[in-house]
Structure 1
């Protein structure tokens, strides 16, 4: 097998991760502006509406693309490109019908959802604003799944960035112009950015698709015999339904949080306005920062399903083990320092990005969940790639159940308050991640060096913690602008972490070569200094 083939997993992940980082960075910008424009109450209304949108959208943007990418990857491995294309066309028709139906239903029931489910009629306008986006994103997600089945990650990456740019621009402008009419209208203006961003992303991916089809037209034979549409839909459903159940649990957790946390905070002694603000700080601010470092895990998860499915179809146990080992190592090496950095710099980060120091209360606790969320995402995709989609769904359900119980109990305690919601989230994801990893190891056990996998990154993380503390305290007394202090502290902390990994041989020359653009030169330079091994 060629080097290009072997490295396709990390290269695809690097492409999606780069796009994810750009999108998340833009997300920081628009959320930072929103925090100043509509305040944490507006954030609370915006965040209450969003779980309904993501629950409906999950079926078409998560389950269907995963099913398509897996089936297309298998057919490509068998040399049946015509059948792979046929599967995509059937899935596209389904997404069109489902997206249309879902958008209409959400729009019709927006008012009762806001009034009776979320207990705040002001959320009605935000739900109504995001309803049209469901149809557009459903179609776009199907095209992304098609390209992912070909292990072509650039179309997804490009459309993702374009979508976020337009979304950010329109949501800030509309939130600003509608806020004078009331905070609920400002929140609705922010929510409507999803529709305009989706339109832009769909246009981009359609252009890429037609160019791709023209280039590879010779591989698609429409005259070949294909199975009935019903049979293809059954295959998609057999994969998509368990994935849907599992994927729905995450937005369901957010929806339950949106319903539960505010009244439980009232039980703890907070007013409705205070409770809504605290919820906005937790889900709109702290969780935004936590989701940022999980971009690599999410990108890896998207890439893992077709990659492991291909290895499984080809009967290559060695290739599957190699890809699993690399995925776990990458997730742990990224998530450990990210968690430490967020915990250590919680207050200045929330102050600079959201102009809200109080959000640091939630962030310090929920930052612990970065590792758990990353491992849960990656291990779920491994099980899906092995054709076991029910296992991650079941495990995430158990984790969500733990989360709900802890949130209900801890958030109502005056001594904890919103910290209880953060702790419940961390423990819930930890339970799901542990159950997933046990299931993966039962199917195939990679040859792990646990000293390399855990001890060395923890050692590097400890050194990073000390460096961040001392650097921030030193620079904050020297530099006038706090944003520069934070950036310099993060860079120095990352360098300290990386140096420890290099000196302990946790990162090898072949690992550095995988870094886009600068990897080869960096590996060769450090090799000349005798700092890395092959």
Structure 2
């Protein structure tokens, strides 16, 4: 494989996962919009109460296996130990089966005690119970995804993500419509069960792909070193040694959500809200504001997943320049994508929450948590870099520090009437900001990476500042022009046209600043290379060396 091919391979993998993740997020957005309009913020609050419990136990069940597996397999293949790579996968698959089954049973049996212990709305019991089988299925699915990602093949993961979300969407909407006449608690349970059916669908796709490619995989493995020196026990120890720090790091985010789940409704009640009002406000924050914040980060999640095996390979082969290139590219793209997304959510918080979710009240927490997009994205990408060079414990520690700040701010401010739900939003943004900056410090320390201030700070922030001015002017003028016919029509059209126009304006500014590279566009699915070549022809863009 040529050096240029190697440099672009992780971006291509990230592009594949991004395209799949974007499709999955669009479907996820779709069902959240529909569900919110059917059961409102209160019903979504009940639905969301099951998720922090589920995600905490899911992370424990998976034990960092996908990331550890991707790294170990990439290391072995780089060292031409392909048979050992396959044995690692088989051991990890058995671990996933046993651990996932046990944790699913534990969650189902402890649903009521957990709800009581966490002082949650008792109506969330059925939602917690309905989602518990998903842990078993997702754990097995994760081992297959880790295997393919270790081979730097992101297509199986991408296909399974899309199919998983497709099945999930139709199950959730169908069950909610069927069960809502019986009460919000049963409707929320129907929504939760979508995670189970979706996971089954995603696993089936992976099994089909694995079955079809089995012969090709075995042929590939035959070309490596015949010796298999690793025992099953040593493989388990390696997975645990890598997986436990990754698990601790991965646990922090669901624990932050769990902290929000425990603190927000209870501290809102301390601020003077009734339990139904507190559940509704929690729903606005967790089911409306946070999905809008998390939507743009699908690209950085994909970058992070692709970075681990890509940087692990370069690190194993001792290619420092390749590590530097991949680190620089990933962080630069993270800044260029997440910064305008954060600014857009801040500036258009009210129209976005009202038009999409019919919950304009959610604009209040969204404005305060919108800048979290930037920090969450930086934290995710820098975590992928550190995991790739084997420093898996560092992101875990840094995210834990951020989580402590989040908990303190959340607990303190949410109970103050003048802050209320804003306190939870501020806590989340601050927690991720601290974790991101600590990660960047260690990326620099461990890899020797140096931040290019001009490319990663001055030009992106200037571009976003200009975009923000454009958004304010363009939105106001377009709304005044369109409201003569219909205010509702003007409100909706103005918002979406402004988003599209702002994206185009930002893209042009980046081109003028020479911040868009040929490879950045060429790796985009479907139209990327054609667009890049067209811009080269008219002299706007230059091909990378």
TM-score for both structures, normalised by structure 1:
0.97
- Structure 2 counterpart SS, 1:499: helix
Aligned to 1:155: 156
Aligned-residue offset at 1:345: 1.1
- Structure 2 counterpart SS, 1:516: coil
Which one of the candidate residues 369, 372, 377 is aligned to 1:374? 377
* Cα distance in structure 2, aligned partners of 1:130 and 1:234: 30
Aligned to 1:128: 129
1:328-477 to structure 2, matched below 5 A, reads 328-477=331-480
Alignment pair present for 1:530 and 2:539:
yes
Does the aligned pair in 1 maintain the 2:62–2:100 contact within 8 Å? Answer: no
1:47-446 to structure 2, matched below 5 A, reads 47-61=48-62, 63-220=64-221, 224-446=227-449
Alignment pair present for 1:519 and 2:528:
yes
Aligned-residue offset at 1:518: 2.6
Which one of the candidate residues 499, 510, 518 is aligned to 1:501? 510
May I ask how many residue pairs the two structures share in their alignment? Answer: 534
* Cα distance in structure 2, aligned partners of 1:62 and 1:286: 29
Aligned-residue offset at 1:481: 6.0
Q: Deviations over 1:205-236 (max 9, x none)?
A: 11111122222322335985342211100000
Aligned-residue offset at 1:263: 1.2
Closer/same/farther in 2, CA of residues 62 and 426 from structure 1, 3 Å limit: farther
* Cα distance in structure 2, aligned partners of 1:508 and 1:129: 47
Closer/same/farther in 2, CA of residues 62 and 160 from structure 1, 3 Å limit: farther
Unpaired runs of 5+ residues, structure 1, are none
Aligned-residue offset at 1:482: 4.3
- Structure 2 counterpart SS, 1:269: coil
* Cα distance in structure 2, aligned partners of 1:143 and 1:55: 21
* Cα distance in structure 2, aligned partners of 1:322 and 1:337: 23
Task: State the Cα RMSD in Å.
Answer: 1.6
Aligned-residue offset at 1:287: 0.2
* Cα distance in structure 2, aligned partners of 1:120 and 1:509: 52
Q: Deviations over 1:311-344 (max 9, x none)?
A: 0000001100100000100100000110011111
Closer/same/farther in 2, CA of residues 62 and 150 from structure 1, 3 Å limit: farther
* Cα distance in structure 1, aligned partners of 2:39 and 2:429: 28
* Cα distance in structure 2, aligned partners of 1:108 and 1:223: 46
Aligned to 2:486: none
Unpaired runs of 5+ residues, structure 2, are 484-488
TM-score for both structures, normalised by structure 2:
0.95
Alignment pair present for 1:486 and 2:492:
no
Aligned-residue offset at 1:269: 1.6
Aligned-residue offset at 1:366: 0.3
- Structure 2 counterpart SS, 1:293: helix
Aligned-residue offset at 1:187: 0.5
- Structure 2 counterpart SS, 1:292: helix
* Cα distance in structure 2, aligned partners of 1:310 and 1:78: 9
